[in-house]
Structure formats: structure tokens, C-alpha cells
């Protein structure tokens, strides 16, 4: 196991406290990051139904495909009898569904009554899964408790932070590869391959892991967010940015930086200056007791002085992640979010500006400390010109 048994005991106690507040008797959790958080389970099996079931006492129970029970045995902290496999004929069956088996296992344990909490807003819990579970639990009432576990994950333990710092060392190496290989005359995919090689290898402190793809647009592609790479040859006098994450044991440290291949145009230099100043003002507001919207307001006010405006949020919490996201989907650094910052919350402050036919990105992943913030990775923020 990556964490001590005591770590999981603390996590489950916090989740049960939230369940009690919500009046939930049993929680059925299908989000792979939340399953990992509660049990340690880690496998690329979230393409098929799987859940962790947590009642108000006893151990959590992992229920998944028979082929994946071996992975559960190797990664979960629970006793073998609480690693339960459904038969393979239920996988992608036209009429039967694994949630029928889940309901039967819950009934066997006496968990088929009362209020059953489910995560409706979940990539890996389909409408069919919900409908099947609800029909099979005739004596229970399904209640949406979206992001209940996600909110518990918001404050990190020291053990979690240790993994995120190892991920930060990896992302530093990824940017070293980006700066070394991003050159005119090279295919975008070849640069991406060098970066991903570092992402997977990690460092001597800790190996890397898989995550969502790196985002590495070049030229006019920088005018859009979330583009990956192509096999196009990189031309001179182009702007490019990289947004990626170092990952260690599923814990992420994302980062973004921008390069210009040649002398940067004045509009890019002006954008760099404005964004870095606004980032400094926003980070000055990161301290316990301040709210997410206070951080964003400082950024927005500074940006306005430069005649600029950003519509989208400027950050989100990070920690455990599985594709398609490394974000935790709870608090946001944006106007109207009054979530109060606490020590050991971790965020990715991502500042992307897309301007018609060009764009710019920079970011920091940071921890809220007792008095301010700690940036997890050490990569210079400013625009880098490669001439």
C-alpha cells in the first residue's frame, strides 16, 4: 500500500461524517479517483462498471470485474472478503448489468434499505448504471450526493503532499525537455514524445505515471485551449505553450509555460507582463481565511489595469487524478466561489489567454500554507524566447 492503514481510517471517518450530515446510510462511489482515495484501488478498469460501497460501519467494499480483483488485492487495504468480483458475463451485456450484482451484494450485507448516496455527476456512472441500481434496490431511496468524497479530498495530508512534491520534480523535468527540444524544423509529435518520456520515467525520487494528454499547441493552434499535438513541422517565429502534469502514484502537479521561437512580438511581451503581475497579486491573496473569489478578484482587478479581461476561472483543486481530468471538480478560483482556503489545500492556478489567432498560458500549482502559499514546482514563469 502507498499509505498507512491509519491514513485510510482518517479518510473514511471524514467521509462518514459528511454522510451523516447528508443523512446517507450507504454510499455507492464510482469515481475512480474517489475509489482510490477510499481504498487505494488503482487500475485502468474504469471503462467498465466498478464501485466502492461504504456503510456507516465496517470496512469499505470494492466491487468490480472478476479480471480486476487481482489488482484490487494488490492495491486495496481491505480484507479479501471485502474485494468482491462480479462474473464476466455481465460485462457489456445487452440486457443484464453489473449494478444488479452490486445491489444483490448490498442486500446480502443488509445495505439495501434507507438512503443510498450516489454520485450522479460522474464520468464513470452512466444513466443505465443508475437506473439499474435504483430498480434493483426496491427498498432503498437513491439520493444524489455529488462530489461528497471530492470535497473531503480538498485538504491534503502530509503523506499526500509528499507524493505531489515528487510529481513536481517530474514536471520540472518535462519542461526541461520542452525547452530543449521545441525547435523549428522538428515535428510536434517528436517534441511531445520527449516530454512524455520524462513524464513516464519520472525522477530518481519517484517514477512517473500516466495522465491526460499533454496540451502543446503551436502557432495559430495556441488560440484554442486543450489541443494536444500534431505531426506538423514546427515553423520559425511561432508561439507555443505546454500545459502538462507530472504524476506520481496518481497524484498530480500540473504546470503551463509559453515559448516563442524567435524574437517575441510586442503583443506577447505585453501579455506576459500583464499576466505575471496579475498572478503575483492573486497569489498574494492565497492564505487561510481568504476565499477563492478573493484570489480571483485580485487577478481580475490587476488584469483590468492592462485593458484585459478573462472570462473563465483561473484555478481548481488538484490531487488524485484519472483521465479525463486531473482536477478535483469542487472549488474554483472564480467570481462567486466563497470556499474558504485552508492549509494544505492544493490548486492549479492556470492563466490562459486566447486572443483570436494567438494565445498565451502560464500557471502554478500551489499549496495553501499556514501564512500564504507554496509553489510546488520550480520553473521560471516568464515567457521564454528561443532564438
In this predicted structure, what is the pLDDT of residue 17?
98
Which one of 95, 120, 152 terminates a domain?
A: 152
* Residue 269 structural domain: 158-385
Does 105 share its domain with 81? yes
In this structure, the strands spanning 26-29 and 114-118 are parallel
pTM metric for this prediction: 0.96
Per-10-residue mean pLDDT of the chain, 387 residues long, equals 94 98 98 98 97 97 98 97 97 96 98 96 95 97 96 98 98 98 98 98 96 96 96 97 98 98 98 98 98 98 97 97 96 98 98 96 98 98 95
Which one of 103, 133, 152 terminates a domain?
A: 152
* CATH for 114: 3.40.350.10
Does 251 share its domain with 197? yes
CA nearest 213: which of 190, 192, 241? Answer: 192
Does 137 share its domain with 165? no
Does 129 share its domain with 199? no
d(CA 350, CA 327): 12
Does 56 share its domain with 94? yes
d(CA 140, CA 143): 10
Does 34 share its domain with 128? yes
Cα distances from 353 to residues 49, 51, 271, in angstroms, run 38, 39, 8
Residue pointed to by grid coordinates 432503498: 140
The domain total for the chain is: 2
Does 131 share its domain with 173? no
Does 170 share its domain with 132? no
Cα distances from 59 to residues 17, 142, 172, 292, in angstroms, run 15, 21, 39, 35
Does 162 share its domain with 65? no
Does 108 share its domain with 139? yes
Q: HSE on the CB side for 56, CA within 13 Å?
A: 15
Which one of 107, 131, 152 terminates a domain?
A: 152
Does 200 share its domain with 57? no
Does 183 share its domain with 141? no
Express each pLDDT in 267-292 by its tens digit. 999 999 999 999 999 999 999 999 99
Express each pLDDT in 210-252 by its tens digit. 999 999 999 999 999 999 999 999 999 999 999 999 999 999 9
End-to-end C-alpha distance for the chain, whole angstroms? 48
Amino acid at each position: 500500500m502507498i499509505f498507512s492503514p491509519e491514513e485510510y481510517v482518517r479518510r473514511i471517518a471524514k467521509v462518514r461524517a459528511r454522510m451523516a450530515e447528508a443523512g446517507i446510510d450507504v454510499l455507492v462511489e464510482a469515481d475512480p479517483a474517489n475509489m482510490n482515495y477510499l481504498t487505494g484501488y488503482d487500475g485502468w478498469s474504469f471503462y467498465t462498471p466498478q464501485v466502492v460501497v461504504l456503510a456507516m460501519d465496517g470496512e469499505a467494499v470494492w466491487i468490480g470485474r472478476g479480471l480486476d480483483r487481482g489488482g484490487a488485492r494488490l492495491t486495496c487495504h481491505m480484507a479479501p472478503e471485502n474485494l468482491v468480483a462480479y462474473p464476466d458475463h455481465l460485462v457489456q451485456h445487452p440486457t443484464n448489468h453489473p449494478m444488479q450484482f452490486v445491489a444483490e451484494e448490498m442486500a446480502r450485507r443488509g445495505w439495501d434499505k434507507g438512503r443510498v448516496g450516489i454520485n450522479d455527476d460522474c464520468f464513470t456512472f452512466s444513466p443505465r448504471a443508475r437506473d439499474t441500481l435504483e430498480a434493483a434496490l426496491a427498498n432503498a431511496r437513491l439520493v444524489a450526493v455529488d462530489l461528497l468524497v471530492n470535497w473531503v479530498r480538498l485538504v491534503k495530508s502530509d503523506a499526500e503532499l509528499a507524493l505531489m512534491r515528487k510529481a513536481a520534480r517530474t514536471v520540472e523535468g518535462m519542461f526541461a525537455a520542452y525547452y530543449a527540444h521545441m525547435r523549428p524544423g522538428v515535428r510536434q509529435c517528436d517534441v511531445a514524445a520527449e516530454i512524455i518520456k520524462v513524464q513516464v520515467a519520472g525522477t530518481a525520487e519517484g517514477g512517473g505515471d500516466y495522465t491526460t494528454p499533454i496540451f502543446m499547441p503551436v502557432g495559430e493552434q495556441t488560440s484554442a485551449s486543450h489541443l494536444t499535438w500534431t505531426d506538423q513541422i514546427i515553423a520559425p517565429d511561432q508561439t507555443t505553450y505546454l500545459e502538462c502534469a507530472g504524476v506520481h502514484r496518481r497524484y498530480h502537479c500540473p504546470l503551463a509555460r509559453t515559448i516563442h521561437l524567435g524574437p517575441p512580438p510586442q503583443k506577447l511581451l505585453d501579455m506576459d507582463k500583464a499576466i505575471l503581475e496579475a498572478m503575483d497579486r492573486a497569489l498574494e491573496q492565497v492564505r487561510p481565511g481568504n476565499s477563492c473569489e478573493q484570489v480571483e478578484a485580485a487577478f481580475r482587478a490587476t488584469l483590468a489595469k492592462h485593458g484585459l479581461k478573462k472570462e473563465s476561472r483561473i484555478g481548481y483543486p488538484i490531487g488524485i487524478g484519472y483521465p479525463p481530468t486531473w482536477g478535483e471538480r469542487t472549488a474554483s478560483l472564480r467570481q462567486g466561489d466563497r470556499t474558504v482556503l485552508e492549509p494544505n489545500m492544493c490548486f492549479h492556478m492556470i492563466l490562459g489567454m486566447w486572443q483570436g489567432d494567438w494565445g498565451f498560458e502560464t500557471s502554478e500549482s500551489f499549496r495553501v500554507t499556514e501564512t500564504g502559499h507554496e509553489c510546488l514546482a520550480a520553473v521560471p514563469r516568464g515567457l521564454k524566447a528561443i532564438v
